[in-house]
Amino acid sequence: MNHDYENRVHEIGNHDGSDSFVRTDSQSDHWIHSKHETAVGIDAPRKPRVLIADGNATVRKLIRWALRDDEYEIVEASNGPDAYVLATESPEPIAILLDANLGGGMTGHDVCRSLKDDLQFCKIPVIMLITIGSHEEISDAVEAGADEVLSKPIHRDELNIRIRSATRSQRESPASIDIESVTLTLAHLIAIKDGYSSGHAEQVANYAVAFGKSLGMDHEDLRLLRFGAMLHNIGKVSIPDAILEKTTALTPRERAIIHQHPRVGSDICVSLKQLEPVLPIIRHHKEHFDGTGFPDGLRGDQIPLKAQIVGIADVFSALTNDRSFRRAKTKLEAIEILKHRVIQGMHDPKLVEQFCQMILADSLPAADTPNREANLETSFAPIVSSSLQHST
């Protein structure tokens, strides 16, 4: 056991008036505090919850006392999977102290990424606990999405400062509406209007974030990418059901109405300050690389990168799912259609190539890929022809 931590535990315990510490198991580093705790009345307001996740019971005890646990409801986890479960239980913690080197099949970095990739939990502040404090450790923690980084051994004053810093916005404006809440509300609205768009938006978001990660985007860009993808079809609330559900080819007038949904979606969200960063994604995900897209006819690098990513993910998701007017394509068929759309000038060739490589790497045995692609090389033209008759 780390004697520095043990000494710090006794120091903090004595400072707070603890009667004693009792070791409960000679085979572990688990400690219990013997001072009687005050019972909480049934009508008492619930204390804010803090999650401490560290494999060392002594470290958890140190942090518990450093936090003055009479102010918080503190829950503990000793491994990654348990930490994730406790982080996602109701009520959500106001902060998570997460050891980078958690075991159990999920490191602290894994837990942090999983939380930050989830719209429901990504706003929970995560303070990553690291060992050495090297540049590499700090960089890894930031890349995983940590809001704060704290080196061991833990010092009481610094820990409380970091907790206050990480949770300041939540304490100062508990009733404020954040981008996640707005996104979830609007995504629910489009799901009511168009059942297909609900699952589609989530899938597009997953593809877009995975692609963004492969391109080296940072955590904040990935968050915005997810929110923009979730809302890319919000403008479809203005489209009549008869058009959305149509099983035959669209008329020119109907297609013109469909083509208005990026502009309408942007107009719907423009008055919401929280959504300002994702407006370019909503408005421009249907622009074409050669300038023939809509609504503004942007071309090349004029099209925001996040909008291009969502545009590619949007097409791929639409192609690989059943629609009212056709059956789903296989992933390989969808890849060939994307390649054809590049030839037509719709997408950045380099981005599509990288996206297809990601899809193939994730879904196909390496030995099968060349032959299966070769078999489709001569047959994708008719597939493309039938698939492009209806807007994706």
Tokens of 330: 């296989």
Q: What pLDDT was estimated at residue 168?
A: 67
Average pLDDT per consecutive 10 residues, the chain (392 residues; last block may be shorter): 44 38 34 36 67 94 80 92 94 93 95 88 90 84 88 84 70 53 78 70 93 92 92 90 87 94 92 89 98 97 98 96 85 97 97 96 54 37 40 48
What's this model's pTM, rounded to 2 decimal places? 0.56
Which of these, 306, 309, 302, 296, lies nearest to 352 by C-alpha position? 309
User: pLDDT digit string (tens) for 65-94?
Assistant: 888 656 789 999 999 999 999 999 988 899
Sign of the CA dihedral with 345 first, then 346, 352, and 356 last: negative
**Cα–Cα distance for residue pair 255/248, rounded to 1 Å:** 12
Q: What pLDDT was estimated at residue 385?
A: 38
31-33 vs 21-23, strand pairing mode = antiparallel
Q: What pLDDT was estimated at residue 247?
A: 86
**Cα–Cα distance for residue pair 330/154, rounded to 1 Å:** 52
Between helix 305-319 and helix 195-214 the angle, nearest 10°, is 130
Which of these, 105, 118, 110, lies nearest to 140 by C-alpha position? 110
Q: What pLDDT was estimated at residue 138?
A: 87
